[in-house]
Amino acid sequence: MLARRALPRLQQPSSHCPSHFYRRAYSKTELGNGVNIAYDLHEPPNQGDSRENAPPIIFVHGLFGAKKNNRSISRVLARDLKRPVYALDLRNHGDSSHHPRHDYNALAEDVELFLQQHRLKDATLIGHSMGAKTVMAVALRNRVPIANLIPIDNAPVDAALSSDFPKYTQAMRRIDETTITRQSEADAILKNYEESLPIRQFLLGNLSRQDDGTHKWQIPIKILSSALDNMADFPFTDPDVTRFEGPTLVVRGTKSRYVADEMLPVVGRFFPKFELVDVEAGHWVVSEKPEEFRKAVVEWLQDKE
């Protein structure tokens, strides 16, 4: 295991995504289980610079997130690593379809089927929070071959979610019960539950304007509210039975509690080749410190090539 190290804070580039960067409009894939998964495909800005048959990167968001939250970092990783990056919307999020089942085995199956249907081999799986447990579950289920794994600020343990998440669903339900015609009206309600403007903006990104001029949630609040206990759990409990032997980079925020020091022995038993990088941030590592995160991932993946 790599010793903990705090990355130096670097000045963030003035532009994450050059204007000539190539990105297709989002697409959807109907999986064999009936779920439609929406995704953005980010490719290097100069196709002539991309490596032939370069292994793909799959980027998965957290609870209440979406592919659009990872757009900037996906573009940067595609540019720096000259690899295609698929940013997914998991079921019940973003532009993907809704389904009453929402647990880590179901989410992992969606990712596995996506990889199979797109014939993506030697993939690097990156996931934040809920996405981190999802990609760890994919690795441990061992139903599709993957090259390496980068879980961000979550551990393979049963651990209660922050009390903020039930609070968010309560606020979202209240907004859903109100006729909202402007996003500022929803924000005024949400402000009673969350003081942080960036977090409120993150949550409000799930609002969608309807034909009648009202704003409604694009995500199924009832399904996700009922799934909060599932999101706290992890489907694997015995690392003596199953483990992932491939390279794994655990990125954690030093101000977050989701990957506490006492969890590291369990991480090591499930992922014996894991390395650890600390970023001076809270739970929202990528959005809080994008340059530190980029540097850690790019250096680690280049070292694995």
pLDDT at residue 125 tops 50:
yes
How would you label 78-95 residue by residue, b for 16+ Cβ within 10 Å and e otherwise?
bbbbbbbbbbbbbbbbbb
Instruction: Select 164-226's CATH number: 1.10.3470, 1.10.10, 2.60.40, 3.40.50.
Output: 1.10.10
Question: Hey, which residues are catalytic here?
Answer: 129, 283
Q: For the structural domain made of 22-158+234-304, what CATH number should be given?
A: 3.40.50.1820
Determine the pLDDT at residue 193.
94
* Domain boundaries for CATH 3.40.50.1820 within the chain: 22-158+234-304
Question: In angstroms, what is the C-alpha Rg of the chain?
Answer: 19
Query: How do residues 29-62 score in pLDDT, each as one tens digit?
Result: 999 999 999 999 999 887 655 566 799 999 999 9
d(CA 258, CA 227): 18
Determine the pLDDT at residue 8.
33
Determine the pLDDT at residue 26.
79
Q: Region 179-188: what's the mean pLDDT?
A: 94
Could you tell me which residues are beta bridge partners of residue 87?
40, 59
d(CA 82, CA 49): 7
d(CA 2, CA 275): 5
pLDDT at residue 204 tops 60:
yes
- Quote the tokens at residue 244: 């992932």
Determine the pLDDT at residue 133.
98
Query: How do residues 133-175 score in pLDDT, each as one tens digit?
Result: 999 999 999 999 999 999 999 999 998 777 788 999 999 999 9
Determine the pLDDT at residue 13.
33
- 47 vs 90: which has the higher pLDDT: 90
227, 102 Cβ separation under 8 angstroms:
yes
Q: Number of helices (H) and strands (E) in the chain: give both, helices first.
A: 11, 11
Tell me the one-letter amino acid at 154.
Answer: N
Reported pTM: 0.89
Q: Within its chain, how far is the Cα of 215 from the centroid?
A: 25
pLDDT band at 25 (very low <50, low <70, confident <90, very high): low
Q: Which residue has the tokens 């949550």?
A: 203
User: pLDDT above 90 covers what percent of the chain?
Assistant: 83
Query: 40-49, 98-107, 181-190: which has the minimum mean pLDDT?
Result: 40-49
Q: Between β-strands 123-128 and 146-152, what pairing exists: parallel, antiparallel or unpaired?
A: parallel
pLDDT band at 186 (very low <50, low <70, confident <90, very high): very high
Considering Cα of 258, then 74, then 71, then 123, what sign does the dihedral take?
Answer: negative
Q: What is the DSSP letter of 171?
A: H
Strand ranges in 189-230 using DSSP code E only, listed in sequence order: 207-209, 215-217
Determine the pLDDT at residue 253.
96
pLDDT at residue 16 tops 50:
no
* Domain boundaries for CATH 1.10.10 within the chain: 164-226
pLDDT band at 10 (very low <50, low <70, confident <90, very high): very low
Burial group, residue 245, by CB count within 10 angstroms (0-12, 13-18, 19+): exposed
126, 297 Cβ separation under 8 angstroms:
yes
Determine the pLDDT at residue 49.
53
Mean pLDDT score of the chain: 90
Q: What is the DSSP letter of 98?
A: P
104, 134 Cβ separation under 8 angstroms:
yes
Q: What is the DSSP letter of 11?
A: P
